[in-house]
Structure 1
């Protein structure tokens, strides 16, 4: 059964779901944009423990890639279409990307783990659709709880304050740099995560694609070369992790010695977890991505490329009136300001530490490291 058919039959399927018995030991994970992020983090935590009493089904669009990898005997990987029947019989269901538009039975626990704390408008901030196909949805703090409630059009009691499960990976020793084939002898590592400028996958281009390098701020090759020379001189590496929806035909991936372009496909092929990679970053450069709320838990410098913030405000918009108040770091509008941020990092200048800590206390209720455990407690899954 395809997505369109399920959408048309949502009401009927929801009624049917109410009367189908649920297996109290069946857990389903769902994703239609690659098995990753918060739902994958909960799965990884679960299978790292003694979960043999549970039947675990992963209904994901890239199921064939995972099916050939080693996994516990009680785990099954199926397509998202084949996962529908498992949803109807499962007591527990987790999703981050996509969903089955079927209302949960009172005998089910369906958890929308989301894919981050939003700064940009999402859900009902943008339209008037029904997004409430879950028992609970996660929010990272009391500040975000009403924002999440409005975004997904749910009741207050459906919002559970809990850190994002994916953040646990930032607190575990790992070899993410080695997995990607990078040396580990750099004095500093900067992770740059630009929002996509043009997308074949989503069919959106409300932000004009940059010419030259295909990246914001350093769109001119000469500016990219200047930054590369600075990094080379100081034995530093900058990794530009490209958004999974980005049109990669715009990106120059090969020309710079100390600026390495990493795609989502490469991350998946090397089984490198983004949040493990974040743990190696001495600084983060991003824009309006939810990743920086997570990175605040590490209390390290953040730079914000805000060259198109007026365009964002006028088009998509933000969930708060003044996004700058939630952005505790240097604002980067030009190549010179980009270089200035890099210089400050290399010289140990950090003037935003106090503001980072203030914002972190607002947006993250928990310190991080036990978020998967908290999610399973919310679901009522015992190990």
Structure 2
């Protein structure tokens, strides 16, 4: 019942109007709020690390607002506040100079002496926002939206229904670790990360692609066991991280070379997703924007797309495959085993294509975090 009320069009409009009035009346403090309603991760987490590492908390109070901090809030730096309270989050939003988010957001427009930045969580290979089927509500309640380059800006502009002057050409905070660690790894064994996007999500009441599969190419638990033995035979360790919105699945125990991880696992290892990815030798994904980011490492990428047409018919794409693919496309298990076997022998025929895509997607001019903060006045 509560969820239906929150997503009711009339309730949202009333909330926006009342929130706008209060936001206009309340004075703003020298404070930076970092918000995520799907766990304190991704771009807000990397921006937080940057702010603390560069002592921004000496000049600004920094508020971290989320539903899950993965124990990050056990040690609280000076002038930093962690809150899980939605009421406190709204209070901080209404009284702060700066508000950053990459998941969720608060549907209230900014006022004088306040800047709202939508970091988002990746460049839109698949349809998002106003381009999604059935999406009609206003999601433009920010001052700036981050785009990696002019290649992505037109789609972002249409997806969020924003003016061109609201788009900042900048790299994502989470990409900083890729930029600083590009090149080969020092792994003795081949290490691959597999990050499939979600097929079925009860949280979003959404179904994309062939959702009857556990994950692409795997139909039952025995498939996992057989594939685990194959990985062992070719000397590959594969770390599989399901999308946070993907419905949970049954995973067989005692797998040795196919390891399932999540955000909690990463924090237990004292690392984070992109730092972990920077230490891998290759990436497997599909229609996820992580492939755009991983290009910065210039390492092999494989695309498992056995449900391409079904995904196009449900979620839909903003680009053709040729526009964003920079590696081998896999559509069945035999192909999957073949390309991984070739990879284990250091065969890579896509280095030139990856460099071409990097030049297209980043234009050689995407600003870093420091420059982005300067653009928004911090």
Flag whether TM exceeds 0.5 (same fold).
yes
Question: Against the structure 1 CA distance between its residues 85 and 366, is the aligned structure 2 distance closer, same or farther, given a 3 Å change threshold?
Answer: farther
Aligned residues: 365
Give the corresponding residue for 1:44.
49
Give the corresponding residue for 1:198.
200
List gaps (5 residues or longer) in structure 2: none
Structure 2 Cα separation of the partners of residues 262 and 48 of structure 1 = 27
Q: Residues 52-131 of structure 1: matches in 2 within 5 Å? A: 52-62=58-68, 65-67=71-73, 69-78=74-83, 79-126=85-132, 127-131=135-139
Give the corresponding residue for 1:347.
345
Structure 2 Cα separation of the partners of residues 77 and 327 of structure 1 = 39
Structure 2 Cα separation of the partners of residues 297 and 149 of structure 1 = 24
Q: Residues 315-334 of structure 1: matches in 2 within 5 Å? A: 315-320=314-319, 322-334=320-332
Q: Residues 260-275 of structure 1: matches in 2 within 5 Å? A: 260-275=259-274
Give the corresponding residue for 2:241.
241
Structure 1 Cα separation of the partners of residues 227 and 192 of structure 2 = 12
1:211-244 C-alpha deviation (Å, 9 max, x unpaired): 5xx2211335555444423321333211111111
DSSP-derived class of the 1:81 partner: helix
Give yes or no for contact 1:198–1:205 (8 Å, CA) kept in 2: yes
DSSP-derived class of the 1:238 partner: strand
Task: Indicate the larger mover: 35-44 or 55-64.
Answer: 55-64
Give the corresponding residue for 1:166.
174
Give yes or no for contact 2:40–2:67 (8 Å, CA) kept in 1: yes
Question: Against the structure 1 CA distance between its residues 367 and 294, is the aligned structure 2 distance closer, same or farther, given a 3 Å change threshold?
Answer: farther
Give yes or no for contact 1:162–1:365 (8 Å, CA) kept in 2: no
Give the corresponding residue for 2:363.
365
Give yes or no for contact 2:210–2:310 (8 Å, CA) kept in 1: no
Q: Tell me the CA shift for residue 204 of structure 1.
A: 2.3
- Asked if 1:154 is matched to 2:162, the reply is yes
1:43-74 C-alpha deviation (Å, 9 max, x unpaired): 1100111221211111211259443x112120
Give yes or no for contact 1:328–1:356 (8 Å, CA) kept in 2: yes
DSSP-derived class of the 2:339 partner: helix
Give yes or no for contact 1:194–1:286 (8 Å, CA) kept in 2: yes
Structure 2 Cα separation of the partners of residues 105 and 303 of structure 1 = 45
Structure 2 Cα separation of the partners of residues 342 and 303 of structure 1 = 9
Give the corresponding residue for 2:304.
305
Question: Against the structure 1 CA distance between its residues 208 and 334, is the aligned structure 2 distance closer, same or farther, given a 3 Å change threshold?
Answer: closer
Give yes or no for contact 1:31–1:80 (8 Å, CA) kept in 2: no
Give the corresponding residue for 1:380.
377
Structure 1 Cα separation of the partners of residues 341 and 138 of structure 2 = 47
Task: Indicate the larger mover: 2-11 or 186-195.
Answer: 2-11
Q: Tell me the CA shift for residue 315 of structure 1.
A: 1.7
Give the corresponding residue for 1:179.
none
Structure 1 Cα separation of the partners of residues 269 and 204 of structure 2 = 25
DSSP-derived class of the 2:283 partner: strand
Q: Tell me the CA shift for residue 278 of structure 1.
A: 0.8
Question: Against the structure 1 CA distance between its residues 277 and 55, is the aligned structure 2 distance closer, same or farther, given a 3 Å change threshold?
Answer: same
List gaps (5 residues or longer) in structure 1: 174-183
Give the corresponding residue for 1:29.
34
Q: Residues 174-253 of structure 1: matches in 2 within 5 Å? A: 186-211=188-213, 214-221=214-221, 223-248=223-248, 250-253=249-252
Q: Tell me the CA shift for residue 101 of structure 1.
A: 0.4
Structure 1 Cα separation of the partners of residues 70 and 237 of structure 2 = 34
Structure 2 Cα separation of the partners of residues 364 and 142 of structure 1 = 8
Give yes or no for contact 1:104–1:135 (8 Å, CA) kept in 2: yes
Root-mean-square deviation (CA, aligned residues, Å) is 2.4
Structure 1 Cα separation of the partners of residues 363 and 46 of structure 2 = 19
DSSP-derived class of the 1:137 partner: strand
DSSP-derived class of the 2:87 partner: coil
Question: Against the structure 1 CA distance between its residues 231 and 318, is the aligned structure 2 distance closer, same or farther, given a 3 Å change threshold?
Answer: same
